[in-house]
Structure formats: structure tokens, C-alpha cells
């Protein structure tokens, strides 16, 4: 399916699952739809299962939106208690459309809990009490978090899934990758059909040199490796440090959540020569979430001036991350939309597009991790593989079966 048709279906008011491979434009379509809802003044709940994912779309966690807190299982009595909470009641009664991004990371029982809360509050037996539900994501990416040793299950295992009359919009055009060999390798991993030819494609990038004016971002599977690398590299640069502290406004608990989950640091330390990454999509300014560059100077207003890998020179001015509800900003933080980018975790790279990347996937520990990392780059020439284990080439077999069904159900 192409993007314009998916957008038409979203506007029809049907319950929709927007899916497709990495780079197919899911976030773009979702943002177009959110813009349409705001222009038409249609009350919308913008959510995602995790805080990091929620910051990408100026939303909040689904747990927060539905009043679920940090709990995982809910009795009828507990659902009733949530449903009688005034602020949750008011929010759910107003909402016409509920958006849940990065749906692959959500456990099945949470979807059922949100459905139960909505039906109870709205006194309506339809799924989610009649609210249009739009879910977006790729089930080959990071899976639901398991608890107490129990394997996380995708939302298609929820009780409400079959009653939602979902229209599946499976996007097929590729807007990130323009490299046939990379596309083949990613498709092989995605289909669970990794062959000797697939491995040969990736082996060709083992410790491969990458041409460019700066060192590529290095992706690690663990935070400790990322922090050590970035701090070490910044310390090697001489010159004056420039400090940028995050601004904040709004409800304290929402501000705290935004800070915790925003990729921009509360305290950003930069020097001339620092390798940095943009953390927002801003087509007018000339960057996207993941654009790599180097600080070449500072403006008269002390904003960092960044030269990107393709030679563009951009003055990085502060951006805002917000939690919005019906055109009201409930909380916001502001910061220069940069972070040190000698290294980043695979988990935090989800949703990014990287021009150049070195990846150490030798410690990959969950299916889909390698696919997420490898699908960040535009082409193989921008990739150097420092290490690769067998887990990095695996995806969840349940995702393969679900993907076949979703392709069949899409127009």
C-alpha cells in the first residue's frame, strides 16, 4: 500500500493497523494524520508504549493516558477504580481517536486493559467504547518487554484484537534504503531466511572502512559501552566547553517523564569538533532524527553550528518536546536537539535514519535487535560491522507468521 491510500483510510474513521518494514514511512503517515486531526479539531490521544517512543510524536505513554500506572495485570475492581478517576474519565470521554505508536513493544494484556477502561468509562460495549484506534509499528522491531520470566506476547494475542474490525495498511514503498544488497539482507532477516548469500553481504562490511569527513556513529547493544565511548571521546578534544541546560514547564509528573525518556540530555556539554546527532525531524531546517554532524563553531548567540555528513551547515537552535492534549500543552521541555554521537544504543536508535554507522552486534541478546540496527542505515557503504553473533540475524518467529497474515489482509 502507498502512503496516500493509507492516509485516506485513516481519515475514514476505521480502526487501523499501520505497518510495514523499517523505512516505509509509517511515522510520516502518522504525523500527517495527526496534523489532519488537529486541523479538524478532532480530539486525539497520542501515545506509545514507552516514554522514548512517545517523545518522537509529542505524546505520552499509553499507561499514563489510560491511568494504568506501572501495573501489568488488572482485576475488574481495579479497572472500575481507574474508570472513576476524574481526569481519566474526562480524557477518555473527550477522545475521538486514540493513536498507539510502536505497537510491537506493547504486551497483549495492556491493550485489553485500555479497552476495558474505555468501555467502562464510555458505557459503550463497542471496542474501546467506540473510540477510533490507530496502531502503528513493525512487529520485527523491538518486542514487548517480558516480566517475571514470562515471554512478552504481541497485541494480536489480546482478547479484543478479533473484535476491532481492523483495516490493515501495510506500507510497501521504501523511503530509507536505496541499496539493493542491503534491502536483500534486511528482507532475508525479516523473512527468517538468512542464507550463505545473506551472510556474505554482511561479511563484506566486516570492519569495512567508511569514507566521510567524520567518524560514523557506533551502535552498541548496552548502555555502559555507549556512555564510556562518548565521555572518552569528548575528553580527548581540547578547547572550551559549552553547556546547555534543559528548560521545562508544565505538570511536574509529565515533565519528569519527558526528561526521563527524551534522548536529549538535561545537561549537554559540547566542544568544537564534537560528533553529534540531531534528535528531531525538522525538514525546514534540513535535518531528521539521526542526522550526523560535527560541531564546527558556535554562533554569536552561543548556539552550536553543525556541519552534517553531506556538507550542510546548520545552526542548532532549541527544540521542544511536549505532551499535548486537545491543543493544550500539558508539559514541555526545551533543549538543543543534539546529543554526543560517537556512540548510541541500538534500542535508542529505533526510529532513526543514520548516514554512517559502526555496529558491534556481537552481544545481541534478543530477536530483532540486529534487524533494528541494520535497518537504520541508508546503504551498505555507510555501514561497518565490528561484530555479529547469530542472535543478531534472528527475528521472532511469531513476527514472521503475523507479518504474513497482515500482508494478506492489507489492500
pLDDT digits (tens, 9 = 90+) for 339-372: 998 998 888 787 788 888 999 899 998 888 999 9
| Residue-level pLDDT at 281 | 77
Q: Where are the beta strands (DSSP E) in 207-310?
A: 217-220, 242-245, 247-250, 267-270, 275-278, 292-298, 304-308
Query: What is the grid cell recorded at 117?
Result: 477502561
Is the CB of residue 47 less than 8 Å from the CB of residue 133?
no
pLDDT tens track for 26-37 = 989 999 999 999
| CA-based nearest residue to 385, from 377, 225, 175, 143 | 377
In this predicted structure, the answer to whether residue 148 has a pLDDT above a threshold of 60 is no
Query: What is the grid cell recorded at 303?
Result: 548556539
| Residue-level pLDDT at 327 | 66
Query: What is the grid cell recorded at 32?
Result: 500527517
Final residue in a domain of this structure, among 131, 152, 174: 174
Q: Verify that 165 and 264 share a domain, yes or no.
A: no
| Residue-level pLDDT at 151 | 67
Distance CA 361, CA 309 (A): 24
Report yes or no on 399 lying in a domain. no
Number of structural domains (the chain) is 2
Q: Verify that 368 and 276 share a domain, yes or no.
A: yes
| Residue-level pLDDT at 362 | 92
pLDDT tens track for 258-294 = 888 788 999 999 999 999 989 887 878 888 777 889 9
Report yes or no on 259 lying in a domain. yes
pLDDT tens track for 43-63 = 999 999 877 777 778 788 898
Q: Verify that 14 and 110 share a domain, yes or no.
A: yes
Domain containing 42 equals 3-174
In this predicted structure, the answer to whether residue 213 has a pLDDT above a threshold of 70 is no
Query: What is the grid cell recorded at 144?
Result: 514487548
Report yes or no on 400 lying in a domain. no
pLDDT band of 250, cuts 50, 70, 90:
very high
Q: Verify that 54 and 162 share a domain, yes or no.
A: yes
Q: Verify that 40 and 86 share a domain, yes or no.
A: yes
| Residue-level pLDDT at 99 | 97
Final residue in a domain of this structure, among 174, 194, 219: 174
Q: Verify that 304 and 363 share a domain, yes or no.
A: yes
pLDDT tens track for 189-206 = 998 999 999 999 999 999
Q: Verify that 167 and 117 share a domain, yes or no.
A: yes
Final residue in a domain of this structure, among 124, 141, 174: 174
Report yes or no on 210 lying in a domain. yes
Phi, then psi, of 405 in degrees rounded to 5:
-65, -40
| Residue-level pLDDT at 147 | 60
| CA-based nearest residue to 372, from 142, 49, 135 | 142
Among 165-174, 217-226, 234-243, 317-326, name the one with the lowest average pLDDT. 317-326
Q: Verify that 249 and 326 share a domain, yes or no.
A: yes
In this predicted structure, the answer to whether residue 66 has a pLDDT above a threshold of 70 is yes
Report yes or no on 363 lying in a domain. yes
Q: Verify that 305 and 349 share a domain, yes or no.
A: yes
Report yes or no on 404 lying in a domain. no
| Residue-level pLDDT at 16 | 98
In this prediction, what percent of the chain has a pLDDT beyond 70? 96
- The residue whose grid cell reads 520485527 is 140
Q: Verify that 53 and 200 share a domain, yes or no.
A: no
| CA-based nearest residue to 326, from 37, 87, 102 | 37
Report yes or no on 402 lying in a domain. no
Is the CB of residue 282 less than 8 Å from the CB of residue 319?
yes
Is the CB of residue 123 less than 8 Å from the CB of residue 116?
no
In this predicted structure, the answer to whether residue 150 has a pLDDT above a threshold of 70 is no
Q: Verify that 252 and 106 share a domain, yes or no.
A: no
Report the CATH number at residue 127: 3.40.50.300
pLDDT band of 74, cuts 50, 70, 90:
confident
pLDDT band of 70, cuts 50, 70, 90:
low
The pLDDT of 124-143, averaged and rounded, is 93
> Judging by beta carbons within 10 Å of its beta carbon (0-12, 13-18, 19+), is residue 45 exposed, middle or buried?
buried
Q: Verify that 202 and 229 share a domain, yes or no.
A: yes
Report yes or no on 8 lying in a domain. yes
Amino acid at each position: 500500500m502507498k502512503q496516500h491510500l493509507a492516509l485516506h483510510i485513516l481519515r475514514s474513521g476505521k480502526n487501523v493497523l499501520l505497518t510495514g518494514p523499517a523505512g516505509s514511512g509509517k511515522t510520516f503517515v502518522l504525523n500527517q494524520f495527526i496534523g489532519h486531526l488537529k486541523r479538524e479539531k478532532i480530539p486525539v490521544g497520542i501515545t506509545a508504549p514507552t516514554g522514548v517512543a512517545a517523545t518522537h510524536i509529542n505524546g505520552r505513554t499509553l499507561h499514563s493516558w489510560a491511568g494504568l500506572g506501572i501495573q501489568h495485570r488488572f482485576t475488574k475492581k481495579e479497572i472500575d477504580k481507574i474508570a472513576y478517576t476524574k481526569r481519566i474519565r474526562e480524557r477518555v470521554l473527550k477522545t475521538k481517536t486514540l493513536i498507539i505508536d510502536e505497537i510491537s513493544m506493547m504486551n497483549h494484556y495492556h491493550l485489553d486493559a485500555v479497552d476495558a477502561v474505555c468501555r467502562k468509562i464510555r458505557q459503550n460495549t463497542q471496542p474501546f467504547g467506540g473510540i477510533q484506534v490507530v496502531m502503528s509499528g513493525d512487529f520485527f522491531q523491538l518486542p514487548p518487554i517480558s516480566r517475571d520470566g514470562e515471554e512478552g506476547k504481541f497485541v494480536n494475542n489480546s482478547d479484543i484484537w478479533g473484535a476491532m474490525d481492523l483495516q490493515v495498511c501495510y506500507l510497501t514503498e521504501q523511503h530509507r534504503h536505496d541499496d539493493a544488497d542491503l534491502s536483500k539482507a534486511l528482507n532475508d532477516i525479516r523473512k527468517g531466511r538468512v542464507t550463505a548469500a545473506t551472510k556474505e553481504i554482511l561479511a563484506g562490511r566486516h570492519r569495512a572502512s567508511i569514507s566521510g569527513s567524520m567518524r560514523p556513529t557506533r551502535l552498541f547493544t548496552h548502555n555502559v559501552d555507549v556512555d564510556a565511548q562518548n565521555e572518552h571521546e569528548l575528553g580527548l578534544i581540547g578547547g572550551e566547553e559549552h553547556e546547555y541546560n534543559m528548560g521545562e514547564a508544565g505538570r511536574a509528573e509529565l515533565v519528569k517523564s519527558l526528561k526521563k525518556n527524551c534522548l536529549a540530555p538535561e545537561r549537554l556539554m559540547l566542544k568544537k569538533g564534537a560528533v553529534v546527532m540531531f534528535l528531531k525531524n525538522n525538514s525546514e531546517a534540513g535535518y531528521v532524527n539521526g542526522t550526523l554532524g560535527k560541531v564546527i563553531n558556535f554562533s554569536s548567540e552561543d548556539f552550536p553550528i553543525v556541519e552534517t555528513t553531506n556538507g550542510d551547515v546548520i545552526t542548532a537552535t532549541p527544540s521542544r518536546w511536549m505532551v499535548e492534549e486537545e491543543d493544550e500543552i500539558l508539559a514541555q521541555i526545551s533543549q538543543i536537539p543534539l546529543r554526543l554521537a560517537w556512540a548510541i544504543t541500538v534500542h535508542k536508535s529505533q526510529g532513526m535514519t543514520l548516514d554512517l554507522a559502526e555496529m558491534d552486534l556481537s552481544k545481541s541478546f534478543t530477536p530483532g535487535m540486529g534487524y533494528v540496527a541494520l535497518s537504520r542505515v541508508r546503504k551498505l557503504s555507510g555501514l561497518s560491522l565490528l561484530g555479529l553473533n547469530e542472535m543478531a540475524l534472528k527475528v521472532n518467529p511469531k513476527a514472521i507468521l503475523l507479518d504474513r497474515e497482515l500482508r494478506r489482509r492489507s489492500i
